[in-house]
Amino acid sequence: MSAKIYDIVTERIIGALDKGVIPWRQPWHSRSAPTNAVSKNSYRGINRFLLPFEYDDQRYVSYKQAADLGGNVKRGERGHMVVFWKSLAVERQNAEGEISERTIPLLRYYTVFNIAQCEGLRINTEAAPAPVATLPAADAVVSSMTNAPSIQHDQDRAYYVPASDEIHMPPQHRFENTTGYYSTLYHELTHSTGHPSRLNRPGVETVAPFGSENYGREELVAEFGAAFLCCAVGIDSVHPDNHIAYIQSWRRAIKNDPKALVVAASQAQKAADHILGVEQEIILQSS
């Protein structure tokens, strides 16, 4: 079942890329993050990109939750898939007959509906979205990061150097807008979390050719991480290098490995939590 779920997730994201839509680049500042209307928990990881953004109210319920709230899903509405990890205890017997138990993670999914797809729900109207966070809040993400890399504004392009643990950026005034600046900085900051002194993510220290599959994998992590961080402070997720070469490297990595998207989103969520100083188990969603 897990393999099928990976395939469904991959199909949906590739379908969006083929239409010229990059799902993780959305104007999140005008909406709250997608949450479960009953538990109040935010959907995490890849679920941020599986759930649609056209709804003004980003609250979702399962079919049963809609019934428990005294309402129902409107006739003809199609649900949205969200995925989660479930632990499964497995016993193994060795050659000597000794039995050991270990826990393995399995990917599962279920269907949710936006509350706009439902009727008769006993639920409060969501308050108007909070105003866009001030830029000092965006600066605080960087200044409060523990064991942060060196950040220098001394180049004509943005990049991270693992060997010296340095981020190089153009001066802020050279960016077309401030949100583009922070989105780019968060992209490189996410790369830096792969350093051995932090999360030690495979592939960060190894140089991969631009446009290659391995390059695309780490770029997906950085893209997702920047999107999560931008969402956390209420600004747009916009990267200036939005051109076909990047999209094709992502697409190649995604198509050749159905697990690439889910793994990248999970690694990016862990990176964002590390930067924000969030100490908790990294899962794909909470319901």
The alpha helices in 144-212, defined as continuous H runs, are: 178-192
Tell which phi-psi region holds residue 200, choosing left (phi > 0), alpha (psi between -120 and 50) or beta.
Answer: left
Same domain, 40 and 101: yes
Residue 85: other Cβ atoms inside 10 A? 18
Percent of the chain exceeding pLDDT 90 equals 34
Query: Of 93, 119, 145, which marks where a domain is finished?
Result: 119
Per-residue model confidence (pLDDT) at position 107: 84
> Which of 128-142, 161-175, 254-268 comes out lowest in average pLDDT?
128-142
Query: Is residue 90 in some structural domain?
Result: yes
> Which of 2-11, 112-121, 243-252 comes out lowest in average pLDDT?
243-252
* CA-closest candidate to residue 190, choices 163, 227, 154: 227
The one-character DSSP state at 124 is P
Query: Is residue 229 in some structural domain?
Result: yes
Same domain, 188 and 99: no
Q: What is the mean pLDDT of residues 229-247?
A: 65
Q: Where are the beta strands (DSSP E) in 95-194?
A: 99-114, 118-119, 150-153, 159-161, 166-169
Tokens of 68: 């428990």
Number of domains in the chain: 2
Provide the angle, in degrees to the nearest 10, between the axes of the packed helices 213-233 and 244-256: 110
Same domain, 162 and 223: yes
Q: Which residues, including other chains, have CB under 8 Å from residue 273's CB and lie 6 or more apart?
A: 279, 280, 282
Same domain, 24 and 78: yes
More confident residue, 87 or 238: 87
Query: Is residue 284 in some structural domain?
Result: no
Same domain, 111 and 222: no
Query: Is residue 126 in some structural domain?
Result: no
Query: Is residue 267 in some structural domain?
Result: yes
* CA-closest candidate to residue 129, choices 179, 59, 76: 59
Same domain, 114 and 162: no
Query: Is residue 130 in some structural domain?
Result: no
Same domain, 139 and 272: yes
> Which of 53-57, 81-85, 153-157, 244-248 comes out lowest in average pLDDT?
244-248
Core vs surface per residue 244-269: b (16+ CB within 10 A) or e: eebeebbbbbbbebbbbbbbbbbbbb
Query: Of 119, 154, 187, which marks where a domain is finished?
Result: 119
Query: Is residue 63 in some structural domain?
Result: yes
Same domain, 236 and 185: yes
Q: Judge whether residue 143 has pLDDT over 90.
A: yes
> Which of 2-6, 48-52, 105-109, 155-159 comes out lowest in average pLDDT?
2-6
Query: Is residue 282 in some structural domain?
Result: no
Encode pLDDT of 194-226 as tens digits: 999 999 998 787 666 555 566 678 888 998 899
Residue type, 86: K
Same domain, 113 and 153: no
Q: How far, in Å, are 36, 105, 111, 153 from residue 94 at the CA level?
A: 43, 22, 40, 57
Q: What are phi and psi of 120, to 5 degrees?
A: 75, 15
Structural domain of 211: 135-276
Percent of the chain exceeding pLDDT 70 equals 77
Same domain, 161 and 90: no
Q: What is the mean pLDDT of residues 14-19?
A: 71
Same domain, 102 and 160: no
Query: Of 119, 150, 185, which marks where a domain is finished?
Result: 119
Same domain, 57 and 182: no
